[in-house]
């Protein structure tokens, strides 16, 4: 069945610096209608960054939305008109000081498609090397670590990696390696 929900009415509730919130009235194939609450997001990149001796970059970062510090791979939001690859290269340099000459797109996925259109473009950056200082945004603060896959697997077993894109990236790398 070619199920589809047609937008009958669109109401923009909120236009923030990053997100936009809309309430949609949609009609369903059975003739009924319902409301959908949608968060529009500019999209993001995330980077699995690996040194020549197979260490992986993880960041520890406070996230206000969950009031916790999380282990994450480097990531950031797309700026208007920016390509995902350019964004990934910029964010890796800004957040960690590392650059790479060897970039590969691994996959792209939706973070939470039940209510948000946020897409995450996941890249692999191989043979990364230090290239000068980091350059955080003024309202960002992060600790940068280089960890072996064994150290990361320990964090995984202890349930300490709790960010979906980071889990996806690490499990992708683990299955790619084997």
Please pick, among 67, 68, 91, 138, the residue that the annotation labels catalytic: 138
Tell me, residue by residue from 65 to 104, as one string, x for binding to a copy of itself by CB under 8 A and - for no binding: xx--xx-x--x-x---------------------------
Residue of 104, 143, 148, 154 that binds a copy of itself (CB under 8 A): 143
Place of tokens 């520890």: 60
| β-bridge partners, 103 | 125
H or E stretch including 88? helix 84-96
Task: Check binding of 154 to a copy of itself (CB under 8 A).
Answer: no
Nearest to 154 by CA among 60, 74, 71: 71
- Distance of alpha carbon 116 from alpha carbon 39, whole angstroms: 5
Q: By CB under 8 A, what part of segment 106-135 binds a copy of itself?
A: 107-120
Decide whether 129 or 141 has the Cβ nearer to a copy of itself: 141
Q: How far apart are alpha carbons 34 and 53 in whole angstroms?
A: 53
- CB distance 74 to 123 below 8 Å: no
Residues making contact with a copy of itself (CB under 8 A) = 1, 3-5, 13-14, 16-19, 21, 23-24, 26, 28-29, 32, 34-39, 41, 44, 62-66, 69-70, 72, 75, 77, 107-120, 138-139, 141, 143, 159, 161-165, 167-168, 171-172, 174-175, 178
């Amino acid at each position: 069945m070619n199920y589809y929900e047609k937008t009958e009415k669109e109401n923009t509730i909120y236009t923030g610096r990053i997100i936009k919130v809309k309430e949609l009235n949609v009609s369903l194939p059975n003739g009924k209608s319902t409301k959908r609450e949608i968060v529009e997001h500019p999209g993001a990149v995330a980077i699995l960054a690996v040194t020549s001796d197979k260490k992986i970059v993880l960041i520890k970062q406070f996230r206000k939305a969950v009031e916790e510090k999380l282990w994450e791979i480097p990531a950031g939001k797309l700026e208007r008109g920016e390509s995902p690859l350019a964004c990934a290269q910029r964010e890796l340099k800004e957040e960690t000081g590392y650059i790479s000459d060897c970039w590969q797109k691994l996959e792209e996925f939706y973070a939470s498609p039940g209510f948000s259109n946020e897409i995450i473009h996941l890249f692999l950056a191989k043979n990364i090397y230090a290239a000068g200082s980091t350059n955080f945004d003024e309202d960002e603060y992060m600790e940068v670590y280089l960890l072996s896959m064994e150290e990361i697997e320990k964090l995984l077993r202890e349930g300490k990696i709790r960010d979906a894109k980071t889990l996806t990236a690490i499990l992708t790398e683990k299955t790619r390696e084997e």
